[in-house]
Structures are given as C-alpha cells and as structure tokens.
Amino acid sequence: MKKVTYITQKEEAKTATASSGNLMELAIANNIEGIEGDCGGVCSCATCHIHLTPEDFETVGGPGEIEEEMLELEDNVSPYSRLACQVPISSLPDQITVKVAN
C-alpha cells in the first residue's frame, strides 16, 4: 500500500492510499481539487498536472514523449512536472507528497 499526500493550490493537504492504478485515478477517487482527469487517463488533456519533489522525480522517473509534449502546452510547468495519469502507483516510493499544479 502506498501513501500519497496531495497538496492543492489552496495549500490543502489530503492523504490517500492505494496499491494499484495511477495518481490521477487516486486523486479523482478522493476528490482532490485541481485534478480533473478529463481525458480519462490517456495523456491528452493535462488536467491531471502535478509537481513532484526533485527526489521523488528521480525515483519515479521523467515523462514519456507524448506526456512531455502535453506538458509543453501547460502554464505552470516545472522541471519536475508529471501528468498524474501517467504515474502508476506501483512506481512510487512507500510515501510521497505531490503538488497539484492546476
């Protein structure tokens, strides 16, 4: 079981746990503000944009080619941006804090 804390743009923190799926699905299931998941997780809407810490980015890995192209269109991009639907829970450390970018 992985423990994920989402920090919203309003600086509200909410922690959820999961053992499968991805960071977008977990956020939707827990009503995390700012994660919409409009495209259903097929990497074509960027409404699931999050920022990882540099350490977690190293562990989880960077975006794929299509994900990177989507991120280029986003406003609030950081070098540690990911689209939550492209981050499987299985790739996470036991505990992680992510920042919602929207």
d(CA 15, CA 69): 29
User: Does residue 37 touch ligand FES according to CB under 6 A?
Assistant: yes
DSSP state of 21: S
Of 7, 58, 10, 69, the closest CA to residue 23 belongs to 7
The residue from 24, 52, 96, 98 that contacts ligand FES (CB under 6 A) is 24
CB of 37 to ligand FES, least distance (A): 4
User: Does residue 55 touch ligand FES according to CB under 6 A?
Assistant: no
Where does this chain bind ligand FES (CB under 6 A)? Answer: 24, 37-39, 41, 43-48, 83, 85
